[in-house]
Chain A
């Protein structure tokens, strides 16, 4: 084994196919006059999301000396929003992002993320553009649109907005062995989504209108049934999560409140407290245009384009060989 560890885990043919997909993505945005940008991989601030862990980097003016603690980006979102506030117009980038502890069949601690922002679009318009890109790369893919509530009602006969904690736990325990306790309804919704619903999703499925508690950086609106829902969507293809998008939050005060809420939750869970990016709040304060944005896993898109089922077949050197 050790004698072959110098070799790439993906075939050279697959890496050629990967390069063609990257060229196709750049062509897609060139045709739409979306500007390619680059933002720093190393930042003084870290993502606030309690369930995404940043990798830390020591910066020093002398070798072995730490003058600054920096963080590898987990997504280029904050920096790209600062560009939007500065008047960049429509932008995209393909960047390496880094997530501590994430390693598995469909996870690698570093991966390539495609992120783009479209001014004047909402989440539904952006979903249509994501569909155009994905079906260009994966021809013949059929795509459906379902709200989070419709998906839960169809699959489990459960209203995710109104179900009580006890009901959610009961449904979970009927479907899986997960004997731990947790008083956050989102934990149980996430379990049902990832263990029961996602594996059964065939073809491409856009899931939209998430519960407001899962808004992250999306706007919250009231749906036709009078429920508070997040203007957030995810695209699943054959049960694999491929993209996550928002009609972006532009309210600086609300953004500051969500950063602080994340930091409080981190403290409550005993997770590291890391510098919050207040410059994002300042950018929103200065004024960011109404826009929608989405992040898409490029390695997974290449997996789909090639019809393979492991990241190791489309990434030259995975974590174990890096």
Chain B
């Protein structure tokens, strides 16, 4: 746990607490919004729907029409809770309930040992995400970085770190002097605990730019 960020958050809270109750009310009132039903001819990539009680995103939608007879819509779905991807076929007149899923930019505050806490910088609303929601993203989370939090019925179900993060090297073998151009790499442990392959010339204490989508070193950070 990073204490400075923690105390910063507590301070932040104490100043804005009177505001929070009002904001929370507005924030949660989205629940009252009517979730539309979508019929299979409205299906499209990116649509979020409820399937067997779980929120799912449509990844690919294809129209299947036999020579004679009714048409089908074959959809590749991603379960937003488990990440499972599979195909389901719908009849042409079937409909499914929309899922109250939204992506929000939030700032990462701190980890309390169990939950990861994030704040909407506009509303100051905070949410706490558990290990299921954070998944492997925890190794890229740095305090005050902007993340995308996916909320389902206002509860966080996944956390997407920024595409690029800047993290400090806490442990790596000593750098090789003069070896700045040659290839070759070595493991380096970063401040978040992530281990990445870095060039031989990188030393402890340096700030590195990492692509979180591939987990690869990009460059030294300036």
A61 within 8 A of B: no
**Could you list which residues of chain B lie within 8 angstroms of chain A, going by C-beta atoms?**
41, 62-72, 74, 86-94
Neighbour of A102 across the interface among B63, B72, B88, CB < 8 A = B63
Query: Restricting to A67-120, which residues have a CB under 8 Å from any CB of B?
Result: 101-105, 107
Contacting pair B88 A190 (CB below 8 A): no
A187 within 8 A of B: yes
5 more A-B residue pairs beyond the given contacts A51-B68, A194-B65, with a C-beta to C-beta distance below 8 A: A177-B86, A179-B88, A182-B91, A187-B91, A194-B66
Contacting pair A177 B87 (CB below 8 A): yes
Cβ distance B74 to chain A, nearest Cβ, rounded Å: 7
A270 contact set on B, CB distance < 8 A: 93
Query: Restricting to A155-185, which residues have a CB under 8 Å from any CB of B?
Result: 176-180, 182
Contacting pair A214 B64 (CB below 8 A): no
Contacting pair A193 B62 (CB below 8 A): no
A270 to B63, CA, bound (A): 21
Contacting pair A177 B93 (CB below 8 A): no
Cβ distance B98 to chain A, nearest Cβ, rounded Å: 18
Cβ distance B43 to chain A, nearest Cβ, rounded Å: 11
A195 within 8 A of B: yes
Query: Restricting to A27-82, which residues have a CB under 8 Å from any CB of B?
Result: 49-51
B91 contact set on A, CB distance < 8 A: 180, 182, 187
A194 to B69, CA, bound (A): 11
A241 contact set on B, CB distance < 8 A: 66-67
Contacting pair A214 B69 (CB below 8 A): yes
Cβ distance B170 to chain A, nearest Cβ, rounded Å: 44
Neighbour of B89 across the interface among A102, A103, A191, A269, CB < 8 A = A191
Interface centre among B68, B86, B88, B94 (most CB of A within 10 A): B68
Given contacts A177-B88, A180-B91, contact A191 B72 (CB under 8 A): yes
A186 within 8 A of B: yes
A-B contact pairs, 15 of them (CB 8 A): A49-B68, A51-B65, A177-B86, A177-B89, A178-B72, A180-B94, A182-B91, A187-B91, A191-B89, A193-B66, A194-B72, A195-B74, A214-B69, A234-B67, A269-B93
Contacting pair B87 A216 (CB below 8 A): no
Contacting pair A51 B71 (CB below 8 A): yes
Contacting pair B64 A194 (CB below 8 A): yes
Find the B residue at minimum CB distance from A100.
B41
Neighbour of B90 across the interface among A105, A180, A194, CB < 8 A = A180
Find the B residue at minimum CB distance from A193.
B66
A269 to B66, CA, bound (A): 18
B41 contact set on A, CB distance < 8 A: 101
B63 contact set on A, CB distance < 8 A: 102-104, 107
A244 contact set on B, CB distance < 8 A: 67-68
Which 9 A-B residue pairings sit nearest by Cβ, starting from the closest? A104-B63, A190-B66, A178-B89, A190-B69, A177-B88, A51-B70, A244-B67, A194-B64, A216-B68
A129 to B62, CA, bound (A): 32
Cβ distance B96 to chain A, nearest Cβ, rounded Å: 11
Interface centre among B41, B71, B92 (most CB of A within 10 A): B71
B89 contact set on A, CB distance < 8 A: 176-178, 191, 195
A191 to B90, CA, bound (A): 10
A107 to B86, CA, bound (A): 23
A72 to B23, CA, bound (A): 54
Given contacts A177-B89, A194-B72, A195-B89, contact A104 B62 (CB under 8 A): yes
Cβ distance A310 to chain B, nearest Cβ, rounded Å: 12
Contacting pair B68 A214 (CB below 8 A): yes
A107 to B94, CA, bound (A): 20
A112 to B70, CA, bound (A): 21
A190 contact set on B, CB distance < 8 A: 66, 69-70, 72
Given contacts A176-B87, A180-B94, contact A102 B62 (CB under 8 A): no
A39 to B74, CA, bound (A): 35
Interface centre among B62, B67, B86, B91 (most CB of A within 10 A): B67
Cβ distance B42 to chain A, nearest Cβ, rounded Å: 11
A194 contact set on B, CB distance < 8 A: 64-66, 72
Find the A residue at minimum CB distance from B52.
A179
Cβ distance B172 to chain A, nearest Cβ, rounded Å: 43
Cβ distance A104 to chain B, nearest Cβ, rounded Å: 3
